[in-house]
């Protein structure tokens, strides 16, 4: 299991478009992947789940990956966070 905490820097937070990009980036991985915000954890492969968290600017979120390609998951999420200007 690997985890990483991100601080959301996008003024809009994680809304529909970036949520779609995040979900799409990890679509092909076999690991279980979750995103956690305010003690609520949802499957990062679910757009509706991610949207249900209502993640605003300044929020700290944790991405958790469990499985054979968990390191690849974090690389994909890191890339999306940087290219989409979502967080660090």
Active site residues: 15
Pair of tokens at residue 3: 């985890």
């Amino acid at each position: 299991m690997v985890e990483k905490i991100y601080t959301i820097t996008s003024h809009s937070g994680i809304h529909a478009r970036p949520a779609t990009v995040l979900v799409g980036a990890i679509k092909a991985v076999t690991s279980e992947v979750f995103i956690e915000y305010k003690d609520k954890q949802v499957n990062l492969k679910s757009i509706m789940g991610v949207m249900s968290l209502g993640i605003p600017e300044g929020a700290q979120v944790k991405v958790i990956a469990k499985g054979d390609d968990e390191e690849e998951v974090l690389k994909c999420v890191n890339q999306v966070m940087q290219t989409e200007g979502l967080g660090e």
